[in-house]
Amino acid sequence: MEAAGGGQHETRRRAGLALLGVVYSSLLLNAIFVAHHFLSPSRLLLRDDGCGCGLTWSLQAAREAEAVAAVECSGHGQVFVDGVAGEDGRPGCECNSCFGGPDCSLRTPNCTADADSGNPLFLEPYWRRHAAASAVVFSGWHRMSYTTTGGFQSVELERQIRRLHGAVGNAVADDKHLVFASGSLQLINALVHALSPDATAASPPSRVVAAAPYYPAYRQQTSMFDGREYRWAGTTALWANSSRANSTDGTFIEFVTSPNNPDALLREPVLRGSAAAIVDHAYYWPHFTHIPAPADEDIMMFTVSKPSGHAGSRFGWALIRDDEVAKRALEYLRDSNMGASRDTQLRMLGIFKFMLANLRGKDDIFAFGHDVMRSRWLRLSAAVSRTRRITLQKIAPQYCTYFGRVREPSPAYAWVKCEMEEDEDCYEALLKANIITRSGVQYEASSRYTRISLLKSDDDFDVLMERLEDLVDADKYDDSNGSSSM
């Protein structure tokens, strides 16, 4: 019996030792996990305020950016790192139109709606929502050289742009040269130069044309740099006659905007076969128009301001099929400013990567943008439908290959026509209603037309709708009183 009791005691002792071993092993593993969590390189610089997270040289810059982004401006403004510093040395709120005060909480009564600019601030809420994923930080020694591994162009950014076109399905890019520029404005003259005869050649200068209504910058840029190689020659209507277009006193370069600015219609060259076409696809993205098929013209222009909204970054690109035309365009950009900013290219790389990672998902920028622009178009159309004084361009719902369904119209601009006899100058008629627009005269169209931008901030659009409602209500009042204006 004594031997049996000793055996049981030894068994219990061994079981206890095993249990202690398990407990100590668990404690040791927990200690290792805790040490790894708090003493790993990503935690060594953690501060008392919870900030740090592995940052060394970028810590101060990150804190500054976070501090500025955290400032509230009543939802009607924002603070920027490079904003004007106040008495406390910190930048203050920059208020949206029609708002003021230190925190932008003061509304300007009877404010005039500014619907002139194509400033794409309608996408600002999207990037605020995705601040962390889209932020880009770089060192003071980032790309200090004039050149990169790809000369003046980031090879990786080129790859991401080609991927974006392929994924969206709006352009065939893989068989073309990619040329970067400081926005599409610089591309206008670079491409005209690339298509024109050399200044020393005996050939007459190229004639640059566009079909009205057209984006005024084509005329302005060509006239500004007017020289031996090319000159502005007016609208395509002046040269539509085949005999004139095929004359020997100079070749034609035709600008084609599709979708068109200002009326949002998809366009094709008018002088087909007798002119080299530069096709501006700035708005050929799913939040502005349906995408029936990938564009595949010889020369196509794009700008980042329209797909992502980053107009201030000043970045544009061209897709060019011909080797010699691409070479001449690159030479022009090299000689004028050595290509697009390397800092801008880095920011765009981060932006395009994020856009690509979220295509057709819950954070798809094109779905977000289309919802905003469609809603604005519906609100505008509903208001205008209540008056006979002005009308909008007609845009039908169309099937879009990107969304895989019929999509509702969501144009960047409303092309407004004043219908009343006395409103011969539509710009002035709307200005009297406290709405600033862009006259159709600038597009070489009738003064009865004017362009209203739908791209600006929510505040801008809300003020625009208030002024339009005032115009419609006044119109209804005049009509009920038998006014001759109706």
What pLDDT sits at residue 481? 60
pLDDT tens-digit profile of 72-129?
999 999 999 989 888 888 899 999 999 999 999 999 999 999 999 999 999 999 999 9
Helix, strand, coil % (nearest 5) of the chain? Answer: 40, 15, 45
pLDDT in 10s for each residue of the chain, 486 residues: 444 445 555 555 555 555 555 445 554 445 444 444 444 443 433 344 455 556 778 888 888 888 888 899 999 999 999 898 888 888 999 999 999 999 999 999 999 999 999 999 999 999 999 988 888 888 888 888 888 777 889 999 999 999 999 999 999 999 999 999 999 999 999 999 999 988 666 788 999 999 999 999 999 999 998 778 999 999 999 998 755 555 556 699 999 999 999 999 999 999 988 899 999 999 999 999 999 999 999 999 999 999 999 999 999 999 999 999 999 999 999 999 888 999 999 999 999 999 999 999 999 999 999 999 999 999 999 999 999 999 999 999 999 999 999 999 999 999 999 999 999 999 999 999 999 999 999 999 999 999 999 999 999 999 999 999 999 998 776 665 655 443
pLDDT tens-digit profile of 300-321?
999 999 999 999 999 999 999 9
Domains in the chain, CATH or no CATH each: 58-109 (2.10.25.30), 155-240+249-358 (3.40.640.10), 365-478 (3.90.1150.10)
Tell me the CB-side half-sphere exposure of residue 168, using CA atoms within 13 A. 27
Q: Which phi and psi (to 5°) does residue 8 adopt?
A: -65, -40
Nearest to 304 by CA among 172, 157, 473: 157
- The whole-model pTM stands at 0.86
What pLDDT sits at residue 32? 45
Which residues are registered as beta bridge partners of 387?
A: none
Longest dimension (CA), the chain: 125
What pLDDT sits at residue 408? 97
What pLDDT sits at residue 60? 83
Per the CB < 8 A criterion, the answer to whether 262 and 415 are in contact is: yes
| Integer Cα distance of 327 and 20 in angstroms | 76
Nearest to 134 by CA among 143, 149, 123: 123
pLDDT tens-digit profile of 382-425?
999 999 999 999 999 999 999 999 999 999 999 999 999 999 99
